Amino acid sequence: MPSLRHLLAAHPTLLLIDSASARVQIGLWHQARASWQTTEAEAGTAVFASVDALLAERSLTIADLNAYAFCEGPGSVLGIRTAAVALRVWRVLNPAPAYAYRSLTAAATALAKPEVNVIADARRDSWHVLRLGETLRRVPTSELSGECVMPDGFRHWTPLPPGLGRTSYDLATLFAQPALLDAELFTESAEPDAFQHEEASYVTWTPQVHQAPAR
């Protein structure tokens, strides 16, 4: 798994999109310098407006990008899928490689406290839970234990667990730190999409005329 430093060595003009939280965060590396756009606007407009603004600021276009990076989650599924759709379209115009990373892995790496659970809402009264160096788990609220923190700006629908702390998710600051710059966070993604713990399952519908029960 490459780190951001490795990606930049191989792809010096790199676009990063993170729409997992309530803040859309877009980073652009070009000529060894990073520029960032952060907004709390709705992802459907913010992703495109922020990318356009960053590219214009550096006199670049989508065709100039060497690679894309994006957060696949956990987080706002709508925001992440908006970014994934954008990347799929842009890769038709410029088929550069795309790399995915996970929000909780980035936050836990920056926090650097292996004893702390970094969590995000998984709905249905459950949580995505990650401890540094361990595998991401999905845990019911009733089974949460130990110190828990949530990255700043992450939405939730499940009631927050008692004593929940917060940890930074300011990517412009975090990705400037050597710990995150050198962490092996990224995997190549052939088809950008939102992370899921399990594949969606569907029930086959069989058409049937409804009749009154036999007496």
Considering the chain, what is the average pLDDT of its residues? Answer: 92
Kindly tell me if the per-residue pLDDT of 208 is higher than 60: no
Instruction: For the chain, give every domain's residue range.
Output: 4-188
Q: Which of 68, 81, 80, 99 is nearest to 18 (CA)?
A: 80
* CATH number of the domain located at residue range(s) 4-188 in this protein: 3.30.420.40
Neighbours of 154 (CB within 10 A): 22
Token pair belonging to 4: 């951001």
Task: Provide the pLDDT confidence category of residue 201 given band limits of 50, 70 and 90.
Answer: very low
pLDDT digits (tens, 9 = 90+) for 51-73: 999 999 999 999 999 999 999 99
Helix (H) or strand (E) holding 93: helix 77-93
Kindly tell me if the per-residue pLDDT of 157 is higher than 80: yes
pLDDT digits (tens, 9 = 90+) for 172-186: 999 999 999 999 999
pLDDT digits (tens, 9 = 90+) for 116-144: 999 999 988 999 999 999 999 999 999 99
Kindly tell me if the per-residue pLDDT of 203 is higher than 50: no
Model pLDDT, residue 196: 80
Helix (H) or strand (E) holding 85: helix 77-93
